Amino acid sequence: MAAPADRNALSLLGTSHQSPGFGLVIVNNISVQELQQLQASTSITLIDVRTDAEVDRGVITGAHHIPLHLLPVRHGELDPAATLVVYCQSGARSAQACVWLSAQGFAEVSNLQGGIMAWMREGNALVHLS
């Protein structure tokens, strides 16, 4: 286990996760503002890993819904060269998804810090998937 000072240093880079077989993986957390800048400036793939019931309440515009438990089955739908931003309700499940996707060879993977709750706290709208 890392010493507290090491944890603080890692938090500057992102969230660290120790995963069996993956070693220490640093998750790149981005803020709502950083997500909006990415959306305005480049092509990204936005992935919502929440459950069907959660998604029924709305998603961030442009999101692709792949529930976390189906990610190992459906990750083939994603371009490994794409810039991926993953979110869930609060950021915890999406951080797990980021670790897993990174281990599968996806190079540009970011976690929306605070998840969709942070998105809504900033006053941003949700849309319904069709």
Residues catalogued as catalytic: 88
Instruction: List the Cα angle 21/22/28 in 5-degree steps.
Output: 160
